[in-house]
Amino acid sequence: MITLESLRAYGANVDEGLARVMNKEDFYLRMVNMVLGDASKFDQLKAAVEAGDAKAAFEVAHALKGATGNVSLTPIYRPICEFSDTLKGHTDQPIPPQCLPLVDEAVKQFEIARNL
């Protein structure tokens, strides 16, 4: 079960996330579970990257960036943020190969967090 301690140990910026919801712990944990409970966005991201669809990949990453950032799941947020920023304004071009590890890292961190 996810707790504040396990999230802290995982590397989430729990204090920032809590402050954003006026320090309501149960609500914060509910939000975190909501983000982690929905794997569909990561599936979409992986599919878009595999298909080389930069536009779709950017849109999904953008959404994930907002959601993971708001609950301060930093280990996921960081690579997603970098990926999304790299693609921004260049979605008419192929996805740069050097970005792909960022996606892998985000997916990996997502799985870790889901198993906390």
DSSP state of 57: H
- Contacting another protein (CB under 8 A), which of 35, 45, 57, 87? 35
The reply to whether 39 sits near another protein by the rule CB under 8 A is no
Q: Is 115 helix (H, G, I), strand (E, B) or coil?
A: coil
Does 22 help bind another protein (rule: CB under 8 A)? yes
Measuring CA to CA, which residue among 50, 79, 49, 80 is closest to residue 63? 80
3-state secondary structure of 114: helix
Q: Which of 3, 8, 25, 34 binds another protein (CB under 8 A)?
A: 34
Question: How many chain residues touch another protein (CB under 8 A)?
Answer: 23
In contact, 45 and 103? CB cutoff 8 Å: yes
Which amino acid belongs to residue 19?
A
63 binds another protein (CB under 8 A): yes
| Site residues (vs another protein, CB under 8 A) | 19-22, 24, 27, 31, 34-35, 38, 59, 62-63, 65-67, 69-72, 77, 88-89
